[in-house]
Chain A
Amino acid sequence: EVQLVVSGGDLVQPGGSLRLTCAASGFIERNYYMSWVRQAPGEGLEWVSVTYIGGTTSYAESVKGRFTIFRDDSKNTLHLQMKGLRADDTAVYYCARAPYSANYRGVIDLWGQGTLVTVSS
């Protein structure tokens, strides 16, 4: 079955660190753009980060310098390393797959179930 399983969410104190994991199955994740998207409680979707095929990465301004996206191709997984966490980072974090083809050109077509990160003292 083609799916993304997200884990690693937790309650963390302000200034703390956390690593999220997204395990891909049914497809080879390194052949796709992979993104992290978050959603604060009761709020809309916010794009966080992307890693392109080949490893180039980009980040939203709100997380630049604090978050790092990276792949572990040997385990077909995607990670988001978060440090310097703030209260406004509290959200459900989704990982998402985006095929790059003549048709899809990097649009998200598959979402993982999300994991809750709560930043609070």
Chain B
Amino acid sequence: DIQMTQSPSSLSASVGDRVTITCRASPDITNYLAWFQQKPGKLPRLLIYSASTLQSGVPSRFSGSGSGTDFTLTISSLQPEDVATYYCQRYNSVPFTFGPGTKVDIK
């Protein structure tokens, strides 16, 4: 059964904190993993693709890592404008399932 899970489902952190979000894929997707940011009322925005490649124009405080089944999105220093929900997505083969999302707030 194809599944994408994320943890935590939500988090609250202070400005300047390091934030890590985990995405687990089943089965193995090698590195066909993308991360999207969606701010309230806005379109999703591509942050990371191929698990670790930063999309053009995305701040360098965002980074991605992992391969196979376990992936992480890290924000090295959380900023107020990073308040959003973050989704991972597999795109190696259909279905191109999204994770359930992680909502990030400022403490």
Contacts and interface: CB of A to CB of B under 8 A. Distances in A.
B62 to A, nearest CB: 15
A45 B98 contact: yes
A107 B43 contact: no
Interface string A44-56: 1111001000000
Contacts of B91: 98, 105-108
B50 A45 contact: no
Interface in B29-54: 32, 34, 36, 38, 43-46, 49-50, 53
Contacts of A70: none
Interface string A88-121: 0000001000100001111111010110000000
A107 B97 contact: no
Nearest to A52: B94
Listed residue (A45, A94, A98, A105) with the most chain B CB atoms within 10 angstroms of its CB: A45
B59 interface: no
A46 B43 contact: no
Contacts of A106: 32, 91
B27 to A, nearest CB: 17
Nearest to B44: A111
Contacts of B89: 45, 47, 107-108
B101 A45 contact: yes
Nearest to B43: A111
Contacts of B36: 45, 108
Contacts of B44: 45, 94, 108, 111
Given A108-B36, A108-B44, 17 more contacts: A44-B101, A45-B87, A47-B89, A47-B95, A47-B96, A47-B97, A47-B98, A58-B94, A58-B95, A61-B95, A94-B44, A103-B49, A104-B49, A105-B91, A106-B91, A107-B50, A111-B44
Interface of B: 32, 34, 36, 38, 43-46, 49-50, 53, 55, 85, 87, 89, 91, 94-101
